């Protein structure tokens, strides 16, 4: 295999330095190692905002407004973060805790065109209500 003029990108979730896991012969063939920093609370909040905005856009197509309180956003960020997987679970948490529950409300007629759905970080689980 000829790798002339090629760029290889390798990713890993090593908990420490690559030199602790790979032999020097391999490390010497790697031109550059870029270490990413851990996600901060602000990073998570930004990711949650992006994901919630996508759901908000889908609901807007049905002329339904989605309001999510700061406490709900904070709860989603906390529940959707996993040290091993980073922010990957966030999308599933938003779908399960908000999207699926709103879908049931729409199917049952509790959320109709023109409604405003509010998601609040209540005790125990998120509180979702339509007005």
Low-confidence ranges of the chain (pLDDT < 70): none
Does residue 84 lie in a domain region? yes
pLDDT at 34 (0 to 100): 85
Is residue 64 assigned to a domain?
Answer: yes
Q: Which of 89, 86, 91, 88 is nearest to 39 (CA)?
A: 86
Q: Residue 64: give its domain's CATH number.
A: 1.10.8.60
Tell me whether residue 17 is in a domain.
no
Q: What is the pLDDT of residue 10?
A: 85
Measure the CA–CA gap between 66 and 59, rounded to whole angstroms. Answer: 7
The pLDDT, as a whole number, for residue 17 is 87
């Amino acid at each position: 295999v000829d790798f002339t003029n090629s760029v290889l990108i390798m990713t890993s979730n090593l908990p420490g330095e690559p030199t602790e896991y790979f032999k020097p012969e391999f490390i010497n063939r790697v031109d550059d190692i870029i270490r990413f920093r851990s996600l901060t609370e602000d990073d998570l909040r930004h990711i949650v905002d992006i994901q919630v905005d996508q759901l908000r856009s889908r609901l807007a197509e049905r002329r339904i407004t989605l309001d999510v309180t700061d406490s709900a956003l904070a709860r989603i960020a906390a529940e959707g973060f996993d040290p091993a997987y980073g922010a990957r679970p966030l999308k599933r948490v938003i779908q399960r805790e908000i999207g699926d529950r709103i879908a049931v409300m729409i199917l049952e007629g509790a959320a109709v065109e023109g409604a405003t759905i509010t998601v609040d970080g209540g005790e125990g689980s998120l509180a979702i209500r339509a007005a």
